[in-house]
Amino acid sequence: MRTFALLGSIAFCLASPQAWAQSFNIDFGVLGDTPDASYGAAGQAGFWNDFGVLTTTRVPLRGLDGELTPVVIYGIGGTQILDFDHPLSDGGDDALVDDMLIGFNDPVDVCVWIQNLQNGYYEVTNYAITPNDAGLLSRVRVDFANEGPRLVGGAWTGEHADGVSYTRHYIHVTDGEIAFHSGEWAAQVQSGLNGVQIRLLSPASSPLGEQESLGMRIDTVLPNPATSRQSIHFSLAHAVDRLCLEIFDPAGRAVCRRLLGDRGAGEHAWEWDGLDGAGRSVPPSVYFVRLSGGSESATRAILRIR
């Protein structure tokens, strides 16, 4: 891993072999009808793992480079494959959205687990558009994610759209596992998943991984996620000289830096307006706010949405 300098340039890069092996594309549907590796849907291009009905048997996943990894997938609640030839889809879209793993929430919803992941921050993009029924919405959630359940579905127009063909969740993984679901326990309705993309944003071992020291703590960010201003609340166990607050994007690039000066022990807050150092609005993404002073630091995720 390259070096990270607090007050200098940032050369930390997520495109390491370890990070690459922790990002995955997965297609649920008719076996053999899988997107090409050049297809990225609404996320990242790369090798697509191909699954029909999942069972409790753990199956290894291949990373975006097509190489086998120790990461495994299994599931319950998805009982059959829905296949439909939508006239507006072709190529990779056809392979992803024209079929899906479905269940009927009787009583179990469609549940999928991915295990043996490296701990860190992940972006989870779930695809859940029912190809033959624009009026059917699937309730999609990711356990312990920053965002709650969302309804996904609608008419396929030939392009991916947030809330229509997919939804995104951000999660801090601490136990090597991501669990996601479509539907609701005992709801007695059809729900399903076309596929999922898992992207490692920042490994726990990196300087941007969530951390706290004894002397300082980032208590909360309100609201989070947000489209406008966000208030960052933090606590200091003792006085700190030259306290610095920085906000980084997932690649480790500093987008905003403020010297907060000398701060005494107690609770404090600082408001971010969502602008970078040049006064431009940052794009929707997960960011990392890092508080540092002396030999101590604390980091938390902060989310910007449209």
Looking at the structure, do residues 267 and 191 belong to the same domain, yes or no? Answer: no
Specify the pLDDT at position 18: 44
Radius of gyration of the chain, Cα coordinates, nearest whole angstrom = 21
Which two three-digit tokens encode residue 12?
A: 């930390």
Q: 35-39, 114-118, 243-247, 290-294 — which is least confidently predicted? A: 290-294
Cβ count near 212 (within 10 Å)? 15
Looking at the structure, do residues 103 and 135 belong to the same domain, yes or no? Answer: yes
Cβ count near 63 (within 10 Å)? 20
- The confidence band for 210, taking pLDDT boundaries of 50, 70 and 90, is low
Q: Among 150, 171, 203, give the residue marking a domain's end.
A: 203
Which two three-digit tokens encode residue 54?
A: 């999942």
Domain containing residue 88: CATH number: 2.60.120.430
| Residue 95, SS3 per DSSP | helix
Looking at the structure, do residues 153 and 96 belong to the same domain, yes or no? Answer: yes
Looking at the structure, do residues 197 and 220 belong to the same domain, yes or no? Answer: no
Specify the pLDDT at position 5: 28
Specify the pLDDT at position 301: 81
> What is the average pLDDT score of the chain?
87
Q: How far apart are CA 304 and CA 306, in angstroms?
A: 7
Give pLDDT tens digits for 68-108. Answer: 999 999 999 999 999 998 888 889 999 999 999 999 999 99
Across 237-295, the runs of DSSP E, i.e. the strands, are: 240-248, 254-263, 266-272, 285-293
Q: How far apart are CA 147 and CA 145, in angstroms?
A: 5
- The confidence band for 208, taking pLDDT boundaries of 50, 70 and 90, is low
* Residue 291 near residue 245 (C-beta atoms within 8 A): yes
Looking at the structure, do residues 178 and 94 belong to the same domain, yes or no? Answer: yes
Q: Among 203, 225, 242, give the residue marking a domain's end.
A: 203
Q: Among 141, 170, 203, give the residue marking a domain's end.
A: 203
Closest CA to 209 of 267, 266, 264, 286: 286
Looking at the structure, do residues 29 and 144 belong to the same domain, yes or no? Answer: yes
Q: Is residue 9 part of a domain?
A: no
Q: How far apart are CA 195 and CA 160, in angstroms?
A: 13
* Residue 229 near residue 272 (C-beta atoms within 8 A): yes
Residues 6+ apart with CB under 8 A from 158: 88, 89, 93
Element (H, E) at 17: helix 17-20
Domain containing residue 227: CATH number: 2.60.40.4070
Which two three-digit tokens encode residue 287?
A: 């960011």
- Tell me the HSE value of 277 on the side-chain side, using a 13 A CA sphere: 12
Q: How many domains, the chain? A: 2
Q: How far is CA 299 from the centre of its chain?
A: 18
**pLDDT exceeds cutoff 50 at 14:** no
Looking at the structure, do residues 198 and 221 belong to the same domain, yes or no? Answer: no
